[in-house]
Amino acid sequence: MNKIRVLITDDQKLLAEGIKSVIESDESIEVVDIACDGIRALELFKQTKIDVVLMDIRMPNMNGVIATKQIKEIDPSVKVLILTTFDDSDYILDAINNGASGYLLKDIGGEALIEAIKNAYAGDTILPSKIARKIVSAAKMVTNDKQIKLKKAFALSDREVEIALMIYDGFTNRQIASALKLTDGTARNYISAIYMKLGCDSRLSAVEQMKKIF
C-alpha cells in the first residue's frame, strides 16, 4: 500500500519534529521533509511528490496563506491542512479561499491529527466546529459589508440587494426565482431594475460593476 506522503511546514523546529514523530507512528503515513517557511516548502514541493502539506500560517519570509496559494497553483490535487495556534477568521477565510483542505489548531491530539490527514487525503474538508463557526460569522460580516456597499453605491432596495448578491454568486434567473419563491417574470423585472441602477445591460457587466465596489 502506498503511504500518504506528508510535508510539514513550520518555523518552530522542535514542534515540527514532534508532529513528525506523532504522525509517523501510523504506518500509512510518511513524512517526506520539514520546511521552515513557505519558500522552503515550495522548493521541496517542486522536488518531490507530496500528498498532504501541514502548513503553519505565521512564518518568516513567506506565510502559510501565500504558500498554500502557490502550491495549489502548481498542483491543485495536493491537500493542504493549515495547522496553527491562531484561530483568526481572516486567516481562516484566506487559507480556505486559496485552496486549503482544512484548518486545525495545534492543540489537536495525535490520533485526531492522523485521522485529519487521512480524511484530507481522501478529499474531505477538515474544520473543527469552533473554526466553522468563525467562518460562518466572518462570511456574514463580508455579506453585510457588500449589502451596505450596494445600497450606498446604487440605491438598491433590500430585495434588489439580495438578488444582486445572488447574481454576483452565479445564480441563474430561474434559481433566483425558485430560491426567493418569485415567479420567473417577477425575478426578471427585479433583475432588469438592478441592471438599470447599475448602468449595465448584462449579467457579466453587472458582476463587473459590483466587483468595482467590493
The per-residue DSSP string of 59-118 comes to: -SSS-HHHHHHHHHHH-TTSEEEEEES---HHHHHHHHHTT-SEEEETT--HHHHHHHHH
Say if residue 131's pLDDT is above 80: no
Q: How confident is the model at residue 140 (pLDDT cuts 50, 70, 90)?
A: confident
75 shares its domain with 166: no
pLDDT value of position 86 = 63
Which of 105, 127, 149 corresponds to the end of one domain? 127
Q: Which domain holds residue 66?
A: 4-127
pLDDT value of position 25 = 95
Average pLDDT on 139-166 reads: 89
pLDDT value of position 188 = 95
121 shares its domain with 150: no
- In a domain, residue 134? The reply is no
Q: Could you read off the pLDDT of 25-76 as tens digits, one per residue?
A: 999 999 999 999 999 999 999 999 999 999 998 898 998 989 999 999 999 9
- In a domain, residue 132? The reply is no
| Share of residues in the chain with pLDDT > 70 (%) | 95
Q: What burial letters (b/e) apply to 124-158, b meaning 16+ CB within 10 Å?
A: eebbbeebeebeeeeeeeeeeebbeebeeebebee
Which of 127, 147, 170 corresponds to the end of one domain? 127
pTM of the model: 0.64
Listed range (93-97, 151-155, 202-206) with the worst mean pLDDT: 93-97
Q: Could you read off the pLDDT of 173-194 as tens digits, one per residue?
A: 988 998 899 999 999 999 999 9
148 shares its domain with 187: yes
